[in-house]
Chain A
Amino acid sequence: MKIKNNKKDIAQEYILEAKKILREKAIRDGIIYKHPKYTKKAARLILKSLLLILNKYMKIQNINIKDLRTIDDYVRIIALKNKKIAIKTKSTYQCLTAVIHYGFASHDTIKTSLDSIKEISDWIKKSIIKHIK
């Protein structure tokens, strides 16, 4: 993987890499992905991307990441500002961990997860801009 050296937007790079794996290796067969091994791999990258985005938010909120033990800790902090995004974060996390565990994913699940991550990321970007102002 060529992700490590790039400091631009690592979260986005993980997403692109995951999409590539899904397209070229997991391979869509109707509405589900054919190869569990690569589906798991892609889901892991998407989850990493989600966690990186969340950590960015925690940083601007001056929260030590080491104090956050479970996804519920993240969700609780986000819920203080936006409940909808908080629920979406938990839902996406649950979907991705299930895919990583079972190795089975429908195209819809992956697409919904990616859409949610984009929404979460956009909201966090807005929060950062607000924070800077």
Chain B
Amino acid sequence: MKDITEIENPYNYIENAKKILREKAIKNEGTYKYPKYVKMAGHIAWCGVLLALDELMNKNNIKIRGRKDIKDYIEFVRKRNRKVLDLLMISYEKLHIFMGYDGNLSVHHSKIGLESAKDVIDWVNKQLKYTK
């Protein structure tokens, strides 16, 4: 059986999202065919970003009362790195809103969203060292 740390690896989330887009959403001339799978991929990739940030918050002993909100993540990253904040905001916009909520079929938005998500996870990875 796989170790829990092996499964709960943010890079796996990104890879799974890419796989869903490639195999199920089906690309055709700059657009995807199925919104259902675009939504699914967007949710998964966004979960990967949140997972990475959650672990970094835990490492920094940041405790949030009640449920976490996007504003908590933004505030946390803002205090540490402004460039990563931009990347986080782009991931939020593209993965969570455009893909996750709307099921936007544009390949361009998905590509930019996944790239910025990976950059955010890379930044976290520098501090936590995941096994890729």
Instruction: Mark A residues whose CB is within 8 Å of B.
Output: 30-32, 84, 87-88, 90-91, 94-95, 98, 102, 104-106, 108-109, 112
Contacts and interface: CB of A to CB of B under 8 A. Distances in A.
B31 A91 contact: yes
B56 interface: no
Given A91-B106, A112-B106, A31 B86 contact: yes
B84 to A, nearest CB: 11
B97 A91 contact: no
A32 B90 CA distance: 8
Contact of A88 (B31, B93, B98): B31
B102 A108 contact: no
B89 interface: yes
A98 B92 CA distance: 12
A94 B93 contact: no
Given A109-B93, A109-B109, 19 more contacts: A30-B83, A32-B90, A84-B31, A88-B31, A90-B105, A91-B31, A91-B104, A91-B105, A94-B102, A94-B104, A95-B98, A95-B104, A98-B97, A98-B98, A98-B102, A106-B86, A106-B89, A108-B112, A112-B108
Interface of B: 29-31, 82-83, 86, 89-90, 93-94, 97-98, 101-102, 104-106, 108-109, 112
Contacts of A32: 86, 89-90
22 contacts: A30-B82, A31-B86, A31-B90, A32-B89, A84-B30, A91-B31, A91-B106, A94-B98, A94-B104, A95-B104, A95-B109, A98-B97, A98-B102, A102-B93, A102-B97, A105-B93, A106-B86, A106-B89, A106-B93, A108-B112, A109-B93, A112-B106
Contacts, number: 50
Nearest to A102: B97
A34 to B, nearest CB: 12
Nearest to B89: A32
Contact of B31 (A87, A95, A109): A87
Contacts of B90: 31-32, 106, 108
A84 B86 contact: no
